[in-house]
C-alpha cells in the first residue's frame, strides 16, 4: 500500500484521490485550506504547494505525486510556473514519481485531431506557460532526476468541472434561459469528463512504463456546443436549449469587468473552429474507455 500525494482538490484531483483510496493506497490530499472530499482513506493536509520545502515535508515517503493544481485562470502567467516548479522539486527531493495533469493549450492551433506526438506550438500566453512547464518537467526526467509523465485533457465536463460549457451553458440550459456562448455553436469540440481524467491519472501513475510520456485522458467523440446542450436538455428533461453566439466585441467588453473573461479572447481559436483531442492511444494502452456523454451530463443535471 503506497503513499500517493495529490495536490489540488478540484473536480479531477478529488476524483483521483477517491479512486486511489478505493484502490487501497494511502492518499494525502494537499490544498492551501486543507479542503477535499470526506473519505476515510484520504488525509487532507493544509499546505502551500508552491513552497517546495513545505511540500517536500508533506511528500516524504510518497511513491507518487500527482499535480492536479492550477492557480486562478487570470494568474497563470505569474503563478503557474512557480507552483509547478515547487512540485517538481518536491518529487525530485523525495524520489516520488511525478504525474502532471495538463491540457491541450501547448499544441496551439492545429488542423485535425490532436495526438500525443504533436510538438508544442503554442499560440497564446497560456499555451506558452503550459509548454514551458512541460519542457522543464521532461528535462528533469531526461536528466535522470525524477520520473515523470503528463495526462492531458480537453475542456472539462462533469460535476464540479469548470469550463465554458459548465459555466455559461449548462446552468442556463437547465433553467430554460438563453445561453450566450463565446463559441461557434456548431464547431466540433472535445469534452473530457473529470472522472475520466482522474482514471487516466491513476492508470498512468500505476504503470512505470508510462514515464516520460504524454497521455490523453479518455475523451468521447467531439460534440458541438449546440449538440452537447441538446443532450443535456434531453437527459435532464429540460426544454430545448436556446443558444446564441457571443460576438467578439461583447467578449472583449466583458473583460473590462471580469479578470477571468479578460483571458478568454486569446483562446477563442479553441471555440471558433474544430478542437478535437484524440485519446485512442491512451485508451488502447490502458484499456480505458471514456464515460458515455449522457451519463456525465445526467450526473451534472442531478447535482445542479
pLDDT tens string 48-107: 999 999 999 999 999 999 999 999 999 999 999 999 999 999 999 999 999 999 999 999
Q: Please, which pLDDT band fits residue 254 given cuts at 50, 70 and 90?
A: confident
- pLDDT at 1 > cutoff 80: no
Per-residue pLDDT at 253: 84
Architecture of the structural domain at 3-154+193-218: 3-Layer(aba) Sandwich (3.40)
Neighbour tally for 43: CB within 10 Å: 18
- Grid cell digits, residue 185: 455553436
- Model confidence pLDDT, tens digit, residues 141-185: 999 999 999 999 999 999 999 999 999 999 999 999 999 999 999
- CA distances 274 to 3, 90, 271, Å, are 40, 38, 7
Instruction: Check: pTM over 0.85? Answer yes or no.
Output: yes
- CA dihedral over 68, 71, 77, 79, signed as positive or negative: negative
Neighbour tally for 129: CB within 10 Å: 20
Q: Please, which pLDDT band fits residue 257 given cuts at 50, 70 and 90?
A: confident
The number of C-alpha atoms within 13 Å of 192 and in the hemisphere containing its C-beta is: 28
Nearest in space to 276 (alpha carbons), one of 187, 198, 211 = 187
Per-residue pLDDT at 248: 84
Interatomic CA distance for residues 2 and 20, integer angstroms: 10
pLDDT (average), residues 112-132: 97
Per-residue pLDDT at 288: 98
- pLDDT at 251 > cutoff 90: no
- Model confidence pLDDT, tens digit, residues 190-211: 999 999 999 999 999 999 999 9
Per-residue pLDDT at 255: 80
Per-residue pLDDT at 213: 95
Amino acid at each position: 500500500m503506497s503513499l500517493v500525494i495529490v495536490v489540488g482538490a478540484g473536480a479531477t484531483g478529488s476524483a483521483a484521490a477517491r479512486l486511489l483510496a478505493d484502490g487501497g493506497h494511502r492518499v494525502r490530499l494537499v490544498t492551501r485550506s486543507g479542503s477535499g472530499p470526506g473519505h476515510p482513506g484520504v488525509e487532507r493536509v493544509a499546505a502551500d504547494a508552491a513552497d517546495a520545502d513545505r511540500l517536500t515535508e508533506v511528500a516524504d515517503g510518497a511513491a507518487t505525486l500527482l499535480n492536479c493544481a492550477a492557480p486562478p485562470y487570470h494568474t497563470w502567467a505569474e503563478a503557474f510556473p512557480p507552483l509547478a516548479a515547487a512540485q517538481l522539486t518536491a518529487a525530485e527531493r523525495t524520489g516520488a514519481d511525478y504525474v502532471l495533469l495538463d491540457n491541450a493549450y501547448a499544441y496551439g492551433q492545429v488542423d485535425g485531431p490532436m495526438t500525443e506526438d504533436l510538438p508544442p506550438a503554442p499560440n497564446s500566453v497560456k499555451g506558452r506557460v503550459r509548454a514551458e512547464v512541460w519542457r522543464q518537467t521532461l528535462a528533469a526526467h531526461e536528466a535522470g532526476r525524477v520520473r515523470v509523465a503528463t495526462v492531458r485533457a480537453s475542456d472539462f465536463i462533469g460535476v464540479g468541472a469548470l469550463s465554458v460549457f459548465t459555466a455559461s451553458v449548462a446552468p442556463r440550459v437547465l433553467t430554460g434561459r438563453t445561453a450566450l456562448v463565446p463559441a461557434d455553436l456548431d464547431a466540433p469540440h472535445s469534452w473530457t469528463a473529470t472522472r475520466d481524467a482522474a482514471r487516466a491519472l491513476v492508470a498512468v501513475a500505476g504503470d512505470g512504463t508510462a514515464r516520460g510520456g504524454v497521455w490523453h485522458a479518455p475523451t468521447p467523440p467531439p460534440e458541438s456546443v449546440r449538440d452537447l446542450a441538446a443532450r443535456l436538455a434531453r437527459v435532464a428533461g429540460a426544454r430545448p436549449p436556446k443558444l446564441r453566439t457571443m460576438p467578439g466585441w461583447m467578449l472583449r467588453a466583458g473583460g473590462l469587468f471580469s479578470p477571468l473573461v479578460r483571458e478568454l479572447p486569446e483562446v477563442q481559436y479553441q471555440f471558433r473552429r474544430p478542437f478535437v483531442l484524440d485519446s485512442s492511444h491512451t485508451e488502447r494502452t490502458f484499456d480505458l474507455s471514456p464515460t458515455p456523454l449522457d451519463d456525465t451530463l445526467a450526473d451534472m443535471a442531478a447535482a445542479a
